[in-house]
Amino acid sequence: MRSASSQDPALVFEPLGPGHASSLFPVLGDVRVWEHLPGSDGATEDHMRAGYARRAAGPGRAGERWINHAVRLPGGPYLGRVEATAHTGEGWAEIAYVFGLAHRGRGYARAAVRWLIGQLEVDEVWACTTPANVRSRRLLEALGFRQEPPTRPLASWDPGDLTYRWDRHR
Ligand SMILES: CC(C)(COP(=O)(O)OP(=O)(O)OC[C@H]1O[C@@H](n2cnc3c(N)ncnc32)[C@H](O)[C@@H]1OP(=O)(O)O)[C@@H](O)C(=O)NCCC(=O)NCCS
């Protein structure tokens, strides 16, 4: 398993809830954060709060688990959040991640996604990203994801997206 690396920066992961909207809105409310994610998250703090409440409530479907965490520095600022939908019965998961602009390029997002994968009790993990989202593609490639055509019904796929697969046994 490619799990936490001793080189990774120390991060704190908090199960995401509606109360995180007030901390994460200043970090993720900037439209530039969503440049490659049209139609996503947070036009307003209230919208974000409602989305986090839905995530915390979970899918309400057997065999599917939602994993959502806010990410921050120990005793310090919030950086962003990570999420996964795990299809535990079928052995695969789909992930996404979004981080604010202030602390990019320091390996925090990469470390957080590595941690997230370590939480998933599945062998196969998928992520979708637009071709122009170079930071996201680099992050996935650094963690051992490979660009492959999808073989799973990926909920986060939008037309034109690239799909990346990580395999625990590869
Ligand atoms: C995708 C996203 C999370 C990537 O953020 P990021 O800041 O580039 O990622 P990291 O924090 O892991 O930074 C990695 C870079 O920091 C550098 N770095 C600096 N110090 C580092 C360290 N100690 N450890 C690892 N990397 C380090 C790396 O070399 C790497 O640079 P490179 O890409 O040129 O190789 C961010 O751009 C984002 O939130 N985008 C909006 C949401 C989104 O598009 N999500 C994807 C679809 S779900």
Query: Which 3 state secondary structure label does DSSP give 83?
Result: strand
CA atoms of 41 and 43, how far apart (whole Å) = 7
Residues framing ligand 1 (Cβ under 6 A): 9, 33, 36-37, 80, 96-99, 104-110, 129, 133, 135-136, 138-139
**Residues 108-149 pLDDT 10s:** 999 999 999 999 999 999 999 999 999 999 999 999 999 999
**Residues 48-105 pLDDT 10s:** 999 999 999 999 888 999 999 999 999 999 999 999 999 999 999 999 999 999 999 9
CA atoms of 163 and 78, how far apart (whole Å) = 28
Which ligand 1 atom lies nearest to the CA of residue 138? 33
Q: How far apart are the first and last CA of the chain?
A: 10
Pocket probe mutation, ligand 1, options 24, 37, 69, 135, max atoms within 8 Å of Cβ: 135
Domains of the chain: 12-167 (3.40.630.30)
Which ligand 1 atom lies nearest to the CA of residue 156? 48
CA atoms of 76 and 14, how far apart (whole Å) = 13
For residue 1, what pLDDT band results from cuts at 50, 70 and 90? very low
pTM: 0.94
Q: What is the DSSP string of 4-49?
A: --TTSPP-EEEE--GGGHHHHHHHH-SGGGGTTSTT-S-SSHHHHH
What are the residues whose beta carbons fall under 8 Å from the beta carbon of 32, sequence distance 6 or more?
Answer: 101
